[in-house]
Structure 1
Amino acid sequence: MQNAIAHFDVDQNLKSYLEFQTYPFSLSPNYFPQIENATSLELVSIKSQSQINEEVLHHLPNLKMIITRTVGTNHVDQELCQKRNIKIATLPNYGSQVVAEHALGLLLCGARNIVFANKDCQNGQFAYQNFLGSSLFGKTIGVIGMGKIGQALTKLLQPFGMQVLAYDIYQDQKIAQQLGFSYKPLKQLLKTADFIVICASLNGETQHLLNLETLALIKEGAVLVNIARGEIIDTKALLKYHTKFKAICLDVVDNEAHFDKTNQLLSLKNIVLTPHIAFYSDKTIKTIGEQTTLLVKQFIKDHTL
């Protein structure tokens, strides 16, 4: 099995928790010349930067299992994997709390101008007059996607005294009652909320959920946070409506693999960006490593005569 298992998109922090071959790059055709015994691989573990499609699978004729160290699977061609009898495993429970913490951090950065004020201080300007903040207390926040991350964020928000509205196609009224939020139609939420946080998974229904029509509904001076997937926001539409926001705080962007200094989002004065680090903490890296290793061991057990 030594040559049959490999992990991709692995940094030094995660590497210490994984057995077998690790690579720092994504699983993509450009890197296949650097992969040892690619045709012998039976199991690979990846992150969302690896796009598993027909071209990639063509180089992996013996692949039996993909472990994606993510909650979502939108980067994996599931239909093609099913045709080839390739099993797909995810890690659905590794970091909801940590991601929610990052969402709260971005929310506070946007509301209180923390990043923008820091830039002034770094440039030798120590003046408060340009950074009037927005208090969270008594305001309305709209959470798009009330799954595990949305629920964790709602719990973190309780001391702030905010009214929490939620949009989700799957509604759990028992959870809503327990956590003290109410479900609303998307358009009503967007029109009402002072702060909006996207926690939804990416699928056919949520891709470009925030577009020209829906972004137009959001009130002036709102703070927008996205810690889910970049493709949930139509970037072209966001560029058109960016001036209506007090702050746009994104941990994810569309087409992250090709992000560079020419990205148009960097031209916005009210943008706060972090490079998809909401999940990335000491606790979650340990959990990801341990859960991935358990899946690998089970695979070996199932495929060893």
Structure 2
Amino acid sequence: MRFTRWASTIEQKRAWAGFIFILPWLIGFIYFFLLPFMKSVLFTFSNIQIGTEGMTTTFVGLRNYRATFLEDPDNVRLIFSSLGDMLYQVSIIVILSLFIAVILNQKFRGRLLARAIFALPIIISSGVIIYLLKYDVLAQSLQGNKAADLFQSSELVQVMIQSGFNPKLVAYFTGIVNGIYELVWKSGVQILLFLAALQSIPGYLYEASSIEGATKWESFWKITFPMISPFILVTTVYSIIDTFTDFENPVMKKIFSLVSNMHYETVSTLGIVYFLLVLAVIGIVTAIISRNVFYIEK
């Protein structure tokens, strides 16, 4: 009886210790996310007036939703444009990150320096830096600096059009080429995640496959790819969120513009719908990829 009471006391102490450990996060979540989110939801059903006495709200039902998406079709276009950009950007980022991580996992001279270079986007907070670098490159290009054309595909466009390619296909392909510089800078976290996944694979699996006569290519698809599949899911979800919330995303630009002009009803409505869209995309992608994720049973 005493042992049961002592065990129960230990479990309660551990439960309280766990609760105290997550309490700072819980307070921050409620104060900085949940309460502002609930207020934003209320704003979507209200007309907001800002006067000398502060902010006053009047309930208007679904009028803000009709005005945002029916009276202003530009918002719908921006959302679909953002969704289309996400599809190809995330695909390229995940594939490129895995490719670079596989190379960096090999043994060669200067490996530490190479890893440090690809970790630079994380170290220097690439969001603002990439914006400055990109527009500095474009400014130099407009001034006639040929070195600035390194990240542009103007010559490639001319070659493809002269070769008879469809203009839409040319625009799509060259858009990807022009964005490679930025996409590489967005791949820092993903590269580190894949690198950690590759280093966690037991070496004896490759030794056994080599003894059985498997080639490097077969070992990659039969061992490496299944073993890192959980990290593929993680990097894909991370890339989706990072792409949707990037400050150069057309919807995010529109949201910043509306906030600057104090259109709080419209920005709240657009932001909530955009938030639900991101959740839906993450849910669909997670459901699809999770079916093929391999977990080691211990």
Higher strand fraction (1 or 2): 1
Higher relative contact order (CA 8 A, sep 6+): 2
Same fold (TM over 0.5): no
* TMscore range, shorter length: under 0.3
So what's the TM-score if we normalise by structure 1?
Answer: 0.23
Whichever of the two has the greater Rg, that structure is: 2
So what's the TM-score if we normalise by structure 2?
Answer: 0.23
